[in-house]
A = this chain, B = another copy of it.
Amino acid sequence: MTTKTHTERALITLRQRIVSGAYAGGQRLFEVALAEDLNISRTPVRAALSKLAEEGLLDRMKSGGFAVRKFDLRDVTDTIELRGVLEGTAARLAAEMGADPEILAQADDAISQIDKVLSGKTVDMSKYSKYNSIFHDCLARACGSRVLARELTRVTTLPFASPSAFLDDESRATQLLRNLIVANEQHRAILNAIANRQSARAEALTREHARAALQNVEFLTKNEAALREGSAPLAIVSA
């Protein structure tokens, strides 16, 4: 098996099913049914469901039990906006309080690595995604706030809210490179603002950077079902 405990395996399996849209939003998940399905007892199923609720993928029902959380388009845009607000706050605080130079150096390196990835003939998306994640992780840590970092982690757990959520969009291959180049320039500007203690600028730039994801959502939803269904991050979204 991939991991040690039944709970962990159930968690991974169920999470995968949920984010891939295998369960309809609002659908209730029953312990017994899942236990039979996964060939384990109810106990690890409950444990997994509980953790998924903690991740925000399930809702607890008033009478007990769990249901798949329902996301509509408004929820998606709100969550991305929320990520922007939180990352923007992180950037602002980092600028105000002065960030750990080591973290800034790491962020700077991530930007350089992304430059390198984008300068090649073909773009290695997994590498881009990796360094993009590193940059955003630096942002979360740069303000030195455990609280803020924690909430950012929470929010970006949702499949469509991750900074790397829409990077696999192949329906616009030509535009993608442009977007990534622009995005990395935003990274540079954000880092520059933080390093120069320009807090308002850092916050505004970071919010704007998050809004790029909103454009992706907008594009995917305006171009109807075919595209949207092919987009993994939006598979969980209902209407």
Whether A185 sits at the interface, judged by CB under 8 Å, is no
- Identify which of B47, B78, B146, B147 contacts A146 (C-beta below 8 A): B78
Question: Is A82 an interface position by the 8 A CB rule?
Answer: yes
| Closest CB in chain B relative to A129 CB, distance in Å | 24
- Contact status A148-B78, CB under 8 Å: yes
Closest partner residue, chain B, to A158 (CB atom): B147
Q: Which residues in window 117-152 of A have CB below 8 A to B?
A: 145-148, 151
A216 at the interface (CB under 8 A from B): no
Distance (whole angstroms) from the CB of A121 to the closest CB of chain B: 40
The contact of A148 among B82, B89, B93, B148, by CB within 8 Å, is B82
Residue of B nearest to A43 (CB): B43
Point out the residue from B54, B79, B145 that lies within 8 Å of A78, measured CB to CB.
B145
Q: A115 → chain B, closest Cβ, in Å?
A: 32
Question: How many monomers of this protein are in the complex?
Answer: 2
Interface flag for A192 (CB, 8 Å): no
In the complex, A176 has a CB within 8 A of chain B? no
**Chain A contact residues, majority secondary structure:** helix
Contacts of A93 in B (CB 8 A): 81
Assess whether A85 is interfacial by the CB under 8 Å rule.
Answer: yes
A178 at the binding interface (Cβ < 8 Å): no
B54 & A146 in contact (Cβ 8 Å cutoff): no
**A2 to B: closest C-beta gap in Å:** 17
Is there a chain B Cβ closer than 8 Å to A50's Cβ?
A: yes
Q: Does A53 contact B (CB under 8 A)?
A: yes
| A36 close to B (CB within 8 Å) | no
Report chain B residues within 8 Å CB of A79.
Answer: 147
- Would A75 and B151 count as touching, CB distance under 8 A? no
* B148-A75 in contact (CB<8A): no
Q: Verify if A74 is at the interface (C-beta below 8 Å from B).
A: yes
A79 to B51, CA, bound (A): 23
A-B contact pairs, 18 of them (CB 8 A): A46-B47, A47-B50, A50-B54, A53-B54, A54-B54, A74-B145, A78-B145, A78-B148, A79-B147, A81-B93, A82-B89, A82-B148, A82-B151, A85-B85, A85-B86, A85-B89, A151-B151, A151-B155
